[in-house]
Amino acid sequence: MNTEQANKMRTGKGFIAALDQSGGSTPKALRLYGIEESEYSGDAQMFDLIHGMRTRMIKSPAFNGDRVLGAILFEGTMDRDIDGIGSAEYLWTKKGVIPFLKVDKGLADEANGVQVMKPMPELDALLKRAVAKGIFGTKMRSVIKLANKAGIDAVVKQQFEVGRQILAAGLVPIIEPEVDINSPEKAAAED
């Protein structure tokens, strides 16, 4: 673990930017950026466009370690370069922003009022690549929709099991059991 990054996480100010749109959410992100689906053809071109968008954001003078504590990257972004430098390395060395990686593969179907993470059979290999590329930590998301004890227990159990696996690989996990803001049982689910 990078001790300079760990110290900055403990004492730094700013927010963690979510730059981790995956294949499912990328078309909407591009549309909000002004690029319609009719303007690109296929996943490769779509991911090139989203990487270009992320690169412009990251290279902005306003995007720096004084305002942005960390940035969560999509796996495809981690594997790409910015100005010939790996994205994670660029974030840290050029911008002073701590790099994180989204590791979940999406959500399973709802059961017991929650959506746990889909299985991640390649997680160990992904974590090794992340460490090699200078990633500091990870993010993984589950969703709680109802105040169902069995469902919430399943979310918490899975988040902490995967969190231990991430810690064992030398990375810092962000545990994210998100309570759906539109849940009719939001207050009870958060209790």
Distance CA 181, CA 184 (A): 9
pTM recorded for the entire structure:
0.90
**Contact present, 99 and 70 (Cβ < 8 Å):** yes
**Is the pLDDT at 169 greater than 90, yes or no?**
yes
Q: What gap in Å lies between CA 107 and CA 154, rounded to an integer? A: 13
State mean pLDDT over 6-10. Answer: 95
Whether 26 contacts 46, CB under 8 Å: yes
CA diameter of the chain: 49
Q: Distance (Å, rounded) from C-alpha 111 to C-alpha 104?
A: 18
- The residues that bridge with 50 in the sheet, in sequence order, are none
Contacts of 130 (CB under 8 A, 6+ apart): 78, 88, 101, 103, 138, 169, 171
Q: Does residue 150 carry a pLDDT above 80? A: yes
What band does 42 get if pLDDT is binned at 50, 70 and 90?
confident
| Residue that is written with structure tokens 């909000």 in the block | 32
pLDDT beyond 80 at 172: yes
Interatomic CA distance for residues 14 and 154, integer angstroms: 32
What pLDDT sits at residue 56? 92
Tokens of 131: 């460490």
CA–CA distance, 106 with 91 (Å, rounded to integer): 25
